[in-house]
Homo-oligomer: A and B are copies of this chain.
Amino acid sequence: MQTSMPNWLMQRAFLTPDRTAVQYDGGKKTFSELHDAVLKRARQLAGLGISKGDIVALLMKNSIDMIEIIHALHYIGAIVLLQNTRLTSSELSWQLEDSQAKYLLVDDELAERISDFSHIRIVKTSELLSLPEQECRLQQEYHLDDTATIMYTSGTTGKPKGVLQTYGNHWWSAVGSALNLGLRETDCWLAAVPFFHISGLSILMRSVIYGISVYVMHGFDAKKANDILIQGKATIMSVVSAMLQQMLSELGERTYPDTFRCMLLGGGPAPNPLLEACRDKRIPVYQTYGMTETASQIVTLAPEYSFTKLGSAGKPLFPAQIRIENNGQIARPNEPGEIVVKGPNVTKGYLNRPDATEQALKDGWFYTGDIGYMDEEGFLYVLDRRSDLIISGGENIYPAEIEAVLLSHEAVEEAGVTGMADEKWGQIPCAFVKLKEGCEVTAEELSGFCKERLAKYKVPKQIYFVEELPRNAAKKLLRRKLAELIPKSGGTK
């Protein structure tokens, strides 16, 4: 089967040049105008020496510049490594080292974070925009097997791995979503989630594939988002529970026009009161399950099932399949096991990690590490995210990563981290620490130690000192039992 197709934005600029491609504070661009701008950026990037196959890291916040640069790198055939702007300098540095990225393009406001990276060419956005142009060879076609983007995600070991997302992954993800949500020429997707997450990047990909516009927010702002939706300027929005909750609070007695047709909710099932509030306001909420490795949602629950299938993530997108495995067998309905997924939107593997790839991908099936079950009708229920994953305000937090930092402190003997329910963020990370004999350290000191090494959202909000951590017979840490250690009188921090 043919595995190439026309360069998406170029094809859009050819087929529907005058449709709006992107709206942002201060302006908008048609597909034709976006293509022209991207062409210029591509020539500027080529002038830097960037060429096909190079890995180029991006440390940027949502903006028209970021959109242009992502497309421009794809025009050249470079692989875009999208970095989370909330990471610390050492976390960023680790990714750059591991990926062997040759360039780092960084927003001026974030540049101080990366001042000590000597092994890589760093270019600030402001510099880039004024670079001279150079003729370059453009990718007229995208090869669906080629890697388009890389995003780092942590696993059970806490060691982040670069997830390879191909053009084909993005393409099929977009097509699967359209077959589920439908598609209208007049659609506009509000992008308030970051482009360095797959939830945000997938909006950009859909925009050029569908020929619809994306409304870019520099950062999430509940009032601004509500204003945009109330004015009918967007018809679909991607959110996590915490965002939706804030928007509902801010919304008050108002609601959105009937043209608003989809609130695509990621990052775990929504709490019942939130769903009820949305139902009362006729806001259609589509709950989803997905991950970096599936290039966005792979399972979706249509609004009509919000209450009859409360807590479910729904059914797979049309081209995808899911099954539950328990001890190597396909589980019966309602029997929990590992969630295993298959589909053309699933990653081809991890950058330079053949072992991890082989472990996760078998016969085209991807082992998510998440635990769940399917009911008799095939609706998926997710019980536990992989490796006790904590999802806080839509950000993935891997306990093992925080534990590793805590364990690197000279006073710490053992550490365990788990997520605690939080009204605003869904979950927050909490740590349980056993100190070395004779050592002393305060929770404040440990928290400060973490802050230097971890993105703020990963820093434990509570640190409890305990005598012993719960472990099974094989001494494996039982993170889910950590919460039982919390003293009745409250936290020590």
A interface residues, Cβ below 8 angstroms from B:
1-6, 11, 14-15, 144-145, 166, 168, 175, 178-179, 182-185, 209-211, 315-316, 318-319, 321, 342-344, 346, 364, 378
CA distance A168 to B144 in the complex (A): 15
Output the nearest chain B residue to A321 by Cβ-Cβ distance.
B6
Question: Are B5 and A319 in contact, CB atoms less than 8 angstroms apart?
Answer: yes
Question: Are A210 and B1 in contact, CB atoms less than 8 angstroms apart?
Answer: no
CA distance A210 to B183 in the complex (A): 11
CA distance A11 to B320 in the complex (A): 9
**Which residues from chain B contact A145 at a C-beta distance below 8 Å?**
1
Total copies of this chain within the assembly: 2
Question: Are A1 and B178 in contact, CB atoms less than 8 angstroms apart?
Answer: no
Question: Are A209 and B6 in contact, CB atoms less than 8 angstroms apart?
Answer: no
A-B contact pairs, 21 of them (CB 8 A): A1-B3, A1-B144, A1-B145, A1-B166, A1-B344, A2-B343, A2-B344, A2-B346, A4-B364, A5-B318, A5-B343, A6-B318, A14-B315, A15-B315, A175-B175, A178-B183, A179-B209, A179-B211, A182-B185, A209-B318, A211-B318
Question: Are A6 and B179 in contact, CB atoms less than 8 angstroms apart?
Answer: no
Question: Are A378 and B14 in contact, CB atoms less than 8 angstroms apart?
Answer: yes
Output the nearest chain B residue to A314 by Cβ-Cβ distance.
B15
Shortest Cβ gap from A456 to chain B (Å): 39
The 10 tightest CB contacts between A and B, nearest first, are A2-B344, A183-B183, A1-B168, A5-B319, A182-B183, A182-B184, A1-B144, A1-B145, A1-B3, A15-B315
Question: A1-B344, A144-B1 are known contacts. Are A319 and B185 too (CB-CB below 8 A)?
Answer: no
From B2, B11, B209, B318, contact of A11 by CB (8 A): B318
Question: Are B183 and A5 in contact, CB atoms less than 8 angstroms apart?
Answer: no
Question: Are A210 and B344 in contact, CB atoms less than 8 angstroms apart?
Answer: no
Shortest Cβ gap from A298 to chain B (Å): 13
CA distance A343 to B1 in the complex (A): 10
**Which residues from chain B contact A318 at a C-beta distance below 8 Å?**
5-6, 11, 15, 209, 211
Output the nearest chain B residue to A14 by Cβ-Cβ distance.
B378
